[in-house]
Amino acid sequence: MAMADIRREYSLGGLNRADLDANPLAQFNRWFAQAASGSRWRKIGIALYKLWHAIPGHVPIDVNTMVLATVDKAGRPSTRAVLLKGVDERGFIFYTNYNSRKGRELAENPGAALTFYWPDLEREVCVAGTVSKLSPDESEAYFKSRPHGSRLAAWASNQSNVVADRAALEKKWDEMAAKFPGDVPLPPNWGGYVLKPERIEFWQGRLNRLHDRFCYTRQADNSWKLERLAP
């Protein structure tokens, strides 16, 4: 399966405003506790889901998830998880709404970083470099490969802006579904980015915290300098 075709639906639960604690730190502790323990049936369901994806021919769950770090013009950082959709000689490719928080920050400061973490392999990859937009043609070609509902969502969601409630979001999606019953065109504010790496670090977990770390640094002639780092 091509990297750009790796996708799944997120269907393990929902989140209502009434369910949230007034204190965000208390809400985090609640979610952390659930992640650390969880119900018996939820654990069984996740185990079966992982087992299914362990069968040869199935892509491991969320293997292309990466944390993207950006910085605004005031130097304030922010992070979020996005999906890697390609790697070539240009760098690491992902897609999003250009008017989202990350899009606005990348317009102000194109410097960014990525982190991949594969716990089953005890591996991490950290990437830093400069981000630029893909061409409209390349963005459109990928957009057309997305499921119909995902394409409608790109039109319905004014990403990162305040929305009144879930009903308002779903109403907007229904409006877009009525507007585009067939082909869904590429929104003018949606498309791809490529991060050109200047540094790539590979981390492999080892006993006694004496991990293996190797860092590639791009040189002026575009060659790579490879060095071992202390863990």
Q: Which residues are catalytic?
A: 209
The 3-state DSSP class for residue 10 equals coil
| 147 vs 77: CA distance, rounded Å | 32
State the Cα–Cα distance between residues 147 and 61, nearest whole angstrom.
18
Q: Does residue 160 sit in helix, strand or coil?
A: coil
Residue 177's H or E segment, with its range, is: helix 166-179
d(CA 65, CA 52): 19
Cβ atoms of 114 and 103 within 8 Å: the answer is: no
